[in-house]
Structure 1
Amino acid sequence: MSFVERCDLNSRERETACEQLLRQVEASGIELIRLGWCDLHGVVRGKTIVASQLRQALANGIGMVSTLLLKDSSDRTAFKVFEQGIEETLPGFAGASNFTLMPDPASWHVLPWTEKTGWLQCQPFFADGRIVPLDSRHVLQQAVQRLTDRGWQMRCGLEVEFHIYRLKDPLHGADLDPDRADWPGPAPEVNLIHPGYNLLTEGWFDRAEEPLRIVQRTAQALGLPLISLEIELGPSQVEAVFDVRDVLTAADHMVLFRNATRQALRRAGYHATFMCRPPFEHIMSSGWHLHQSLCEASTGRNVFMRDAAAPGGALDARQVLSDMGASWLAGLLSHAPALTALCTSTSNGYGRFRPNAMAPQSILWGRDNRGAMLRVIGAPGDNATRIENRLGEPAANPYLYMASQIHAGLDGLDAQLQAPPATETPYSAGAATIPTSLAHAVQALQADAALCQAMGQPFVDYYSTIKKAEHQRMVQAEDATEFHKREYFGRI
């Protein structure tokens, strides 16, 4: 029995897709194939095989050390896999055992920045054929199934802010000096691509056009639904906006976009980082704004859209959102402290929650208000009616960010929660505030019974252990700036 049969992945459709892919690879002269998998931190890991091994990999996968699921953001294993008791805490991980990465033939891409190289997305399985339940993509797949059972589909649009810098010395920089190697290693030395503080100015776009062209061509060559590239307010800060797709596809696109952007730009002498606050004195924080709506799977009708405004006042969510949309909004607000741990998943991201910076500070919603955590956009009869969550950072794991929205929104629906009035002054005192550190957010996640049940207590415990280790290292760091450079700037 092949491993694909043991995993119960074999089907006529997959067999056909595999044969088509094998013929395509042979005809195109592809030499190398990267088998990629998204880890807990949203980083793509995997192995590279020669093209002649593709048939074997499609049937039986490729081995992967299981501790890759247990790494914190410095790449240290956060669990003691060689000690007694690990099987009770993390069944299947004892002794740094092997998992098997199974490629999805439908995920095939030819990488545009390198020669004769393809890419396949994978998911990890135990030796007995069971999917690894702690895999973040599987966590989202389970959340999506909750929607499917109700006849719904979630659709997401992405607004991703990030920073691009020019490398001072692409070939012999500080991060490549063997005498400075460490764990984690030093960050690269960089210059700006534009001086900032001139939002959306065409002159700054012109100065940054070379790296932005690389981003554009790479994204489009990979089939990503790029809409625009924009100059953001901060020095060297830019934004990419993507059209709506179903939630799982949107998450896959985010993983692919970050991975591809960093690699393509590095080859051209640039450094892209998706950390929230690069470690320089004069910067602006980057956010990842997630636009979300539900639609009926059978008709495509927007479940959040309201046919006519409710009789309440202008600050009533039902002026714009359907009753179900308003309850979904209320669910996101109700679980916001816990959601923060999954939407802003690095210690670095918590410096963003400041007043009057078009970033949220309090757990509020507003109608087309960019200072609120949740921005409601649309009008009665508008099929594009949606909720924009402005809580996330661009370094977040997309699968966990989006799964958290589904679970919180559905809890709001099931409990028939009512949204409070909209805010018009999101930075005024008195409202409940967003957690101020990763440690506080993780504590909120652990205390949220509904999310712990929806995501599974074993997953929440696992995630919390790794994120607590990350936060503790930051607290203990002798030089906080150097910690952020090494931990985040050079790596995400």
Structure 2
Amino acid sequence: MTSGNLTDTEQAVLDEIEEQDVDFLRLQFTDILGTVKNVSVPARQAEKAFTEGIYFDGSSIEGFVRIQESDMRLKPDPDTFAVLPWRQKEESAAARMICDVYDTSTGEPFEGDPRRVLKNALDRADEMGYTVNAAPEPEFFLFEEDEDGRATTKTNDAGGYFDLAPKDLASDVRRDIIYGLEEMGFEVEASHHEVAEGQHEINFTYDDALTTADNVGTFRTVVRAIAAQHDLHATFMPKPIPRINGSGMHTHLSLFTEDGENAFHDEDDEFDLSDEAHSFLAGILEHAPAITAISNPTVNSYKRLVPGYEAPVYVAWSDRNRSALIRKPAARTPSASRVEARFPDPSCNPYLAFAALIHAGLDGIENDLDCPDPVRENIYEFDEEKREEYGIDTLPSNLGEAVEALEEDEVIYDALGDHVAPKFVEAKEQEFEDYLVDVSDWELDRYLETF
């Protein structure tokens, strides 16, 4: 398959489709809530997808367009081509490409596309002379399925932090997940059992922020698919089991200059952080309450963000302990200097969450925000009076408060764009209202026979 209208990368994809005997292509994108969507087309449509795009009805996608303006166009990014590992043993293979969404009426990128929202943030960084690298640490639980194949909350192991078999019965599952990720181009750094029973973490190497956001969506898809092959259900729900640790997605961020130098590193600083890094960090702290609506976007997210379960709730930073919202990890080389936002969770839309964090940090740099001193003590042990003495605020305690903070924060609200911001707020307000009028099993167990 050859065409003079294709780039070298696009032509290479067509060649690989032929070599790998790929039969179907999944053209993937996400709605504003971060749910992965796909349009499947025969592989013979690949060239058309590159040159013309593939049309679809955007009115059925959460937060996209109204019914009267529903025609949208998918333009695949050839750099994201990957053969799906769980289909390779069949007679023909399936592959996926992640797409940008275009508005057919204008021919321009659709501003309601979360991938476009992140690209806008990266454009702002580029105008300031920076590229952005990111590395997330998404945690997840593996649960057994019932006889009908439905998810339970029964873990298939009794392992703890860094445990080995026989307690860590899911080590084989993690191994197969790692193999699947590597087949899709991931470079996996480490995997281990997390603190809670049934909880796991697989870390992959940092990359530019757009590639990393793409990888988060791919990671969740691969984990779920391969877990299902083992008759297990993988969930990225932040707090599926009460009174134990929840799942986070700690996100490491750094800026690099046009000449390839790490803009966050300064060996003359006590913490090896440059002035830009301190201001970037201060920007995230300044806008943290609003960011949580995006980085912790579900009612359940705030069951994780409570004191006592290793999740950060206090707006502070530290170079030593993990009770603060932001941590400065140890760096072996200048290129590794970075900041770690510890509050996001894996239920977030990674494109929107990264965009919010980047805009907040860049706002800190543009306004030369002063970074507070690090808190080296365990903030979990502070009482309210001591937190006030240190000037430490807390994150919103529920989704409703977080959405209110988002609406009041012009920087973070505007970071989502004129299309996504009101749609996102509307969806999250409705979610919180639905939660408020519901009656939980806890309430029935506690009150039904008492009153």
Output the TM-score relative to the length of structure 1: 0.82
Partner of 2:328: helix, strand, or coil?
A: strand
2:248 to 266, 270, 287: 287
Partner of 1:156: helix, strand, or coil?
A: strand
Q: Distance in 1 between matches of 2:223 and 2:10?
A: 28
Cα deviation, 1:154-173, whole Å, max 9, x if unaligned, reads 1112211111123233xx33
Partner of 2:196: helix, strand, or coil?
A: coil
Partner of 2:40: helix, strand, or coil?
A: strand
Partner of 1:456: helix, strand, or coil?
A: helix
Query: Paired residue for 1:271?
Result: 233
Query: Paired residue for 2:32?
Result: 40
Partner of 1:308: helix, strand, or coil?
A: coil
Q: Distance in 2 between matches of 1:217 and 1:247?
A: 23
Q: RMSD of aligned C-alpha atoms?
A: 2.3
TM-superposed CA distance for 1:268, in Å, is 2.9
2:213 to 251, 255, 262: 251
- The worse-fitting range, judged by mean Cα deviation, of 36-45 and 324-333 is 36-45
* Partner AA of 2:217 in structure 1: V
1:192 correspondence with 2:155: yes
Q: Distance in 2 between matches of 1:54 and 1:380?
A: 44
Query: Paired residue for 1:122?
Result: 99
Q: Say whether the 8 Å CA contact 2:6–2:50 is kept in structure 1.
A: no
Cα deviation, 1:389-428, whole Å, max 9, x if unaligned, reads 0010011111111111111011111111111111123222
1:107 correspondence with 2:80: yes
2:124 to 116, 140, 146: 146
TM-superposed CA distance for 1:121, in Å, is 0.9
Aligned-residue sequence identity (percent) comes to: 30
* Partner AA of 1:434 in structure 2: L
Aligned CA distance change for structure 1 residues 380 and 58 (closer, same or farther; 3 Å): closer
Q: Distance in 2 between matches of 1:166 and 1:292?
A: 35
1:302 correspondence with 2:275: no
Aligned CA distance change for structure 1 residues 137 and 210 (closer, same or farther; 3 Å): same
TM-superposed CA distance for 1:376, in Å, is 1.1
Q: Say whether the 8 Å CA contact 2:143–2:152 is kept in structure 1.
A: no
Output the TM-score relative to the length of structure 2: 0.89
1:201 to 145, 163, 184: 163
Query: Paired residue for 1:135?
Result: 113
Query: Paired residue for 2:413?
Result: 452
Partner of 1:189: helix, strand, or coil?
A: strand
* Partner AA of 1:162 in structure 2: F
Unaligned runs of 5+ in 1: 1-10, 72-89, 176-187, 311-318, 483-492
Q: Say whether the 8 Å CA contact 1:204–1:231 is kept in structure 2.
A: no
Aligned CA distance change for structure 1 residues 332 and 163 (closer, same or farther; 3 Å): same
Query: Paired residue for 1:180?
Result: none
1:477 correspondence with 2:438: yes
TM-superposed CA distance for 1:479, in Å, is 3.5
Query: Paired residue for 2:8?
Result: 16
2:367 to 415, 428, 431: 415
Q: Distance in 2 between matches of 1:215 and 1:405?
A: 28
2:56 to 64, 67, 70: 64
- Please show how residues 396-415 of structure 1 align to structure 2 within 5 Å: 396-415=348-367
Q: Distance in 2 between matches of 1:26 and 1:403?
A: 36
TM-superposed CA distance for 1:119, in Å, is 0.7
1:53 correspondence with 2:45: yes
2:223 to 237, 246, 261: 261
Q: Distance in 2 between matches of 1:379 and 1:127?
A: 46
Aligned CA distance change for structure 1 residues 12 and 348 (closer, same or farther; 3 Å): farther
Aligned CA distance change for structure 1 residues 204 and 252 (closer, same or farther; 3 Å): farther
TM-superposed CA distance for 1:464, in Å, is 0.5
Number of equivalenced pairs: 427
Q: Distance in 2 between matches of 1:205 and 1:224?
A: 27
Partner of 1:337: helix, strand, or coil?
A: helix
TM-superposed CA distance for 1:468, in Å, is 1.1
